[in-house]
Structure 1
Amino acid sequence: MKTLSTNQIQHIEEFLISQYHIKYQDTRDEVLDHIACEIEELMNEGKEYDNAFKITFNKWNKDLSPHPWIRYKNVPSFLGRQWIKRDIISIILCMLIGLSIPYLLKEFIEHNNLANILGSSICLVSILLGGFICIKYFKVKGYRISQLKKEVLACGAISLFYYVMFIGGFTYKLLPLILIMCLYQIYYIIEIQKVRPLSKL
């Protein structure tokens, strides 16, 4: 049974870095393992290493190339495909909840003058969540966690802007957007918890 040499494994890893820019070790190790197994299978079927290498990378090319959607820029396609469906569903769900709750509670909010308290509170929660994630996962690297950290911080920044601009002057009409931002953050934080622990660099 033929197995890859250390130099051949190193060659595959270097190719993943140079050709596909797979910069995070955890993802690279996972892909390397799959590709190495496939190359070894082809070698055991009688193919030379160079030929097996070309066949395997031709097969993997689409999966390793960057995902076309800008949201997952520089992320290998096979990873982006894993995230896109649940991200879209969750974003739509957050929007529906964020738009419907203030609408359903409109009379209660306006009658009790709660818009300013709710607006300020939601903004502060969002800002604190952004800061917490930034600090807790500051040195943690990985495709998914890096993307989620950016999203959480962006939502926190939008909430900070609204807090500064409308402090003391929140109205019912401003609540949906900041509630949606906060719900996005909660979803992103749940997703961060699903990401397996990665090495801190």
Structure 2
Amino acid sequence: MTKVLVLYYSSYGHIEKMADAVAEGARSAGAEVDIRRVAETAPKEVVEAAHFKTDTAHAVIEGPDALANYDAIIVGAPTRFGRMPSQMAAFWDTTGGLWFTGKLIGKVGAAFTSTASQHGGQEMTLFSIITNLLHQGMTIVGLDYGYAAQMGVKEVVGGSPYGATTIADGDGSRQPSEADLGGARYQGKRVAELAAKLAA
């Protein structure tokens, strides 16, 4: 059975919800899926003052070597000034050993994100994640336009050909819509399907 890891960082729960949807999509394609988060690196007083969401059902990933156990890795993180946040970057900075030994070459990778506004740097953030995956030798799956719900301007909707996205609003009040979650499920399914084909 194809093994998929959904690895995420979420400050306020938006990316956590997207991670659950990505996992749901991958499972619908028959994959065995684990959801893990990276460790919080912000000081406790910052976490408390900013009211970060600290309750979650998902365990922190054991360490970078765990990545080698999967056929596909789907990475989710919010944007911080047009790039992935330091918490996720710090984790990928520990994967030099995997790069040196080529342990992730040929695996499938993907990215998803959230921003406060519609023009808050979603695509740049996706690329900041994807760049790491490409350096590791992974094959990238985006959110192709087979997922038509990302099109149109009648409502606020996330989505990008580079990965599933959602828009949180400046105060975090907007939760991922059904269209956003549908994009996450679609991308998760596509990743799992490709990983299964490559492993066959």
Q: TM-score range by the shorter chain?
A: under 0.3
TM-score by length of 1: 0.22
Structure with higher Rg: it is 1
Report the structure, 1 or 2, having the larger strand content: 2
TM-score by length of 2: 0.22
Q: Which has the higher contact order (CA 8 A, sep 6+)?
A: 2
